[in-house]
């Protein structure tokens, strides 16, 4: 190793789900939405005046923030937007997790959290989920440098109550508590209703899942005026012009198209409930999911085998070779047609397995 390499900030990066280049794949591996974005957002992209690209974008993303403020009934100065919720969360880690005490989060959770802790040199500790993959709130009643928990959790899909989060907030007035609600729109109750009561609560959401705009990269957070100001101070100390014009405008139109949002989201919830029945019939077990994916294990066939055989059939789901979850598959909810193809493939794989 060369001496200069001693000074390099070395990290083991987050591994995103595979993004295959070919279009014939049934892609159920990264929790994207199978439906197109709102036609109103699509129209903005189509009609975008490229001359606007000459100018830097609005640093405050005003049209987008105002649309979110209107939709959620939260003042604009209590909303922060970023380039995907990964950007919002990473900024929040950098801004709020600056203590000698460890930040705490579940052992089975979004696998970016420990990566941000490593890159920003933040101490952390994980708290084991119970065997049924639920969180024990008591684990969070301890001294800490911050808390981050997804609700519903990923990759388990398990939703916990706003009351449980409130109990954690009551016990933690000395650190920032982040609730990552990437999947909340698929049937959960948001903790956003608690932001008036708890100045140290940050609730993070995204356009990537329920709004079909993963490619646009839009995330946002709700919190007290103070929290949002601190976040913006750090953001503006790194890069002021993060979100491009087209994204800001298309995002705002998407938020205004409530009817389309409800229609597509309800269809995913319907297909998810149907998928639960089908998976159970095929011998899978899973915690009840309130997200746009199901975290399933088969009673007899190893998850890794199913993952590989599905891949041979051009169906991608997500598998992690990690402690406690190496016999589970995370299956994103696609369209009815995609899911039926998945179930057909699973039937074949499971019966081949019985014969061999």
Q: Which residue lies nearer to ligand PMP by CB, 182 or 301?
A: 182
Q: Which residue lies nearer to ligand PMP by CB, 57 or 219?
A: 219
Q: Which residue lies nearer to ligand PMP by CB, 190 or 301?
A: 190
* Binding region for ligand PMP (CB under 6 A) out of 80-88, 98-106, 249-257, 307-315: 80-88
Q: Cα separation of 102 and 207, whole Å?
A: 30
| Total binding residues toward ligand PMP, as defined by CB under 6 A | 12
What minimum distance in Å lies between the beta carbon of 133 and ligand PMP? 14
Is 247 a binding residue for ligand PMP by CB under 6 A? The answer is no
Q: Which residue lies nearer to ligand PMP by CB, 265 or 309?
A: 265
What minimum distance in Å lies between the beta carbon of 108 and ligand PMP? 12
Is 182 a binding residue for ligand PMP by CB under 6 A? The answer is yes
Q: Choose which of 57, 145, 219, 334 interacts with ligand PMP (CB under 6 A).
A: 219
Q: Cα separation of 18 and 5, whole Å?
A: 30
Is 203 a binding residue for ligand PMP by CB under 6 A? The answer is no
Is 154 a binding residue for ligand PMP by CB under 6 A? The answer is yes
Among all residues, whose Cβ is closest to ligand PMP?
A: 84
* Binding region for ligand PMP (CB under 6 A) out of 81-89, 96-104, 232-240, 247-255: 81-89
Is 254 a binding residue for ligand PMP by CB under 6 A? The answer is no
Q: Cα–Cα–Cα angle for 252, 254, 255, nearest 5°?
A: 65
Phi first, then psi: give them for residue 20, nearest 5 degrees: -65, 150
What minimum distance in Å lies between the beta carbon of 207 and ligand PMP? 7
Q: Which residue lies nearer to ligand PMP by CB, 180 or 253?
A: 180
Is 180 a binding residue for ligand PMP by CB under 6 A? The answer is yes
Q: Choose which of 61, 208, 289, 297 interacts with ligand PMP (CB under 6 A).
A: 208
- Binding residues for ligand PMP, per CB under 6 A? 84-86, 110, 150, 154, 180, 182, 206, 208, 214, 219
């Amino acid at each position: 190793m060369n001496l200069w390499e001693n000074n390099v900030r070395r990290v083991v990066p987050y591994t995103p789900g595979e993004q295959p280049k070919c279009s014939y794949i049934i892609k159920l591996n990264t929790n994207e939405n199978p439906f197109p974005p709102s036609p109103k957002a699509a129209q903005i992209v189509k009609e975008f005046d490229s001359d606007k690209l000459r100018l830097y974008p609005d640093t405050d993303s005003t049209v987008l923030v105002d649309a979110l403020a209107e939709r959620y009934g939260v003042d604009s100065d209590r909303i922060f937007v970023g380039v995907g919720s990964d950007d919002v969360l990473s900024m929040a880690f950098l801004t709020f997790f600056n203590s000698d005490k460890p930040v705490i989060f579940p052992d089975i959770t979004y696998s970016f959290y420990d990566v941000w802790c490593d890159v920003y040199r933040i101490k952390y500790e994980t708290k084991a989920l119970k065997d049924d993959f639920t969180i024990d709130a008591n684990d969070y009643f301890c001294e800490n440098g911050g808390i981050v928990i997804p609700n519903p959790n990923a990759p388990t899909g398990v939703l916990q109550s706003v009351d449980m989060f409130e109990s954690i907030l009551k016990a933690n007035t000395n650190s920032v508590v982040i609730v990552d609600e990437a999947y909340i729109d698929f049937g959960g109750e948001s903790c956003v209703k608690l932001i008036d009561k708890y100045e140290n609560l940050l609730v993070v959401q995204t356009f990537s899942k329920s709004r079909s705009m993963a490619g646009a990269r839009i995330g946002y957070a709700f919190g007290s005026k103070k929290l949002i100001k601190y976040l913006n101070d750090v953001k503006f100390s790194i890069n002021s012009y993060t979100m491009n014009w087209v994204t800001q405008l298309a995002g705002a139109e998407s938020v205004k198209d409530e009817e389309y949002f409800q229609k597509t989201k309800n269809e995913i919830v319907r297909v998810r409930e149907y998928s639960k029945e089908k998976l159970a019939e095929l011998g899978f077990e899973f915690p009840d999911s309130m997200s746009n994916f199901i975290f399933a294990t088969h009673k007899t066939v190893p998850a890794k085998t199913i993952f590989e055989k599905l891949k041979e059939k051009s169906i991608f789901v997500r598998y992690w070779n990690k402690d406690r979850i190496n016999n589970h598959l995370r299956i994103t909810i696609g369209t009815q047609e995609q899911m039926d193809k998945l179930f057909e493939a699973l039937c074949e794989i499971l019966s081949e397995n019985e014969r061999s």
